[in-house]
Structure 1
Amino acid sequence: MIKAEKIYKSFGPLQVLKGIDLEVRKGEIVSIVGPSGAGKTTLLMIMGTLEKADSGRIYIDNHELSSLSEKKLSDFRNRNIGFVFQFHQLLPEFTALENVMIPALIGHAKHVEAEARAKDLLCMMGLSERITHKPAELSGGEKQRVAVARALINDPLVVFADEPSGSLDSDNKEELHKLFFELRDKLNQTFIIVTHDEQLASITDRTIHMIDGQIVDQ
């Protein structure tokens, strides 16, 4: 369902990715691990269309993304890709409900439909009593679950997560890790997760090991 072919990326004289080939199936939870500087986040950003490769191709659901214009790529990203980052990236002036609704409204969903979908997702996250709270009124674990709901609002083909439990305590980490698998079971959701968390990597369907810009083991 997702395929990266011969992905190369440099920043100035530093070659960060050195010919990455990777495939991920629908409904798979894949972790990407490796030391700092291995190229994990760069690969995630390129697969998620937030960065451009110097060469190579990315396919998602048989769409070859490098051929799309910026406008079409932005539309594709909004409809088909969700993101979860380490520090939530919630907008502080909006409530949990409003934060989750934003990608749907950007995608021109009707307000009433976006609101209903956002409420359903927040309830699924165990946050039905927190939907009117702003990020400053939420715990770290609650903020990350809001971020997961936001990533899912447009029913994406894949969710890319960059160190999603990196800022959480051990109890909230465990809850978040369980949530990923519950969402895969309920929604057949695909997750690609960059992580330093060995416990999370050990329970994913497949672990991709990267060193010096290359995949060394799957």
Structure 2
Amino acid sequence: MVVGQNIEKQFGDLKVLKGIDLSIEKGEIVTILGASGAGKTTLLQILGSLDQPSKGEVIINNTPINRLTGNQLAKFRNQHIGFVFQFHQLLPEFTALENCMLPGLIAGRKDKEAQDRALKLLSYLGLSERLDHKPAELSGGEKQRVAVARALVNDPLVVFADEPSGNLDSKNQEELMDLFVDLRKQFNQTFVIVTHDQHLAEKADRTIHIVDGVIVD
């Protein structure tokens, strides 16, 4: 469902990715594990359409996404890809509910439809009592769960998570990974998660190890 073919990425004379081939099936939880500087975040950004490869191709659900341009790419990303980042990236002036609704509104859903979907997800994630709280009023774990709900609001084909537990304490790290497993069971959701934590990676179905821009499995 997510396929990378001979992905290379070069910044000037520095080659960060050196020919990555991978395939991820629907409903899989896959972690990308590697030391800092190994190229895992660069790979995630390319797979998630946030960056273009220097060479190679990314295909999501039979769509070659690096052939899409402008509005086509933005629409595909909004409708089919979810993102969870280490530092949440919630808009501070909006409530948890409003933050969660935003991708749905951008996709053109009516207010009621976007709100109902956001309410369902936030309730499922145990945040029904925190809907009207802004990010500054939420704990780190709560903010990350709002970010997960936001990533899921458009029912994406795949969610890409970049060190999603990196800003959490050990208890919340465990809970977040358990949440991804529960979401896969509930919604058959596909997750691709960058991490440097071997313990957390062990909870995934499969781990892709990257060393110096190549897969070493």
TM-score category (smaller protein): over 0.9
Per the TM alignment, residue 196 of structure 1 is displaced from its structure 2 partner at its CA by 1.3
Per the TM alignment, residue 170 of structure 1 is displaced from its structure 2 partner at its CA by 1.1
Please give the root-mean-square deviation of Cα atoms over the aligned residues, in Å. Answer: 0.6
Letter in 1 for 2:128: S
| Aligned position for 1:13 | 13
Per the TM alignment, residue 35 of structure 1 is displaced from its structure 2 partner at its CA by 1.0
Q: Aligned runs of 1:122-141 on 2, under 5 Å?
A: 122-141=122-141
Per the TM alignment, residue 89 of structure 1 is displaced from its structure 2 partner at its CA by 0.3
Per the TM alignment, residue 12 of structure 1 is displaced from its structure 2 partner at its CA by 1.2
Per the TM alignment, residue 216 of structure 1 is displaced from its structure 2 partner at its CA by 0.5
Alignment size in residue pairs: 217
Per the TM alignment, residue 57 of structure 1 is displaced from its structure 2 partner at its CA by 0.5
Structure 1 residues without counterparts, runs of 5 or longer: none
Matched, 1:112 2:105: no
Structure 2 residues without counterparts, runs of 5 or longer: none
Letter in 1 for 2:28: E
| Aligned position for 2:79 | 79
**CA–CA distance in 1 between the matches of 2:56 and 2:38?**
18
**CA–CA distance in 2 between the matches of 1:78 and 1:188?**
19
TM-score using structure 1 length = 0.99
- Determine helix, strand or coil for the equivalent of 2:92: coil
**CA–CA distance in 1 between the matches of 2:91 and 2:148?**
14
**CA–CA distance in 1 between the matches of 2:212 and 2:198?**
19
Per the TM alignment, residue 207 of structure 1 is displaced from its structure 2 partner at its CA by 0.4
Q: Aligned runs of 1:1-218 on 2, under 5 Å?
A: 1-217=1-217
Per the TM alignment, residue 66 of structure 1 is displaced from its structure 2 partner at its CA by 1.9
**CA–CA distance in 2 between the matches of 1:2 and 1:129?**
36
- Determine helix, strand or coil for the equivalent of 2:202: helix
**CA–CA distance in 2 between the matches of 1:36 and 1:182?**
28
Does the 8 A contact of 2:36 with 2:196 survive in 1? Answer: no
Per the TM alignment, residue 68 of structure 1 is displaced from its structure 2 partner at its CA by 1.4
Letter in 2 for 1:174: E
**CA–CA distance in 2 between the matches of 1:213 and 1:131?**
41
**CA–CA distance in 1 between the matches of 2:20 and 2:84?**
22
**CA–CA distance in 2 between the matches of 1:122 and 1:197?**
27
Cα deviation per residue 1:169-217 (whole Å; 9 max; x = unaligned)?
1111111111000000000000000001222101100000000100001
**CA–CA distance in 1 between the matches of 2:196 and 2:211?**
13
**CA–CA distance in 1 between the matches of 2:110 and 2:95?**
18
TM-score using structure 2 length = 0.99
**CA–CA distance in 2 between the matches of 1:52 and 1:97?**
32
Per the TM alignment, residue 147 of structure 1 is displaced from its structure 2 partner at its CA by 0.2
Letter in 2 for 1:216: V
**CA–CA distance in 1 between the matches of 2:66 and 2:110?**
30
**CA–CA distance in 1 between the matches of 2:189 and 2:200?**
17
Cα deviation per residue 1:10-43 (whole Å; 9 max; x = unaligned)?
1111100000001000000000011111100000
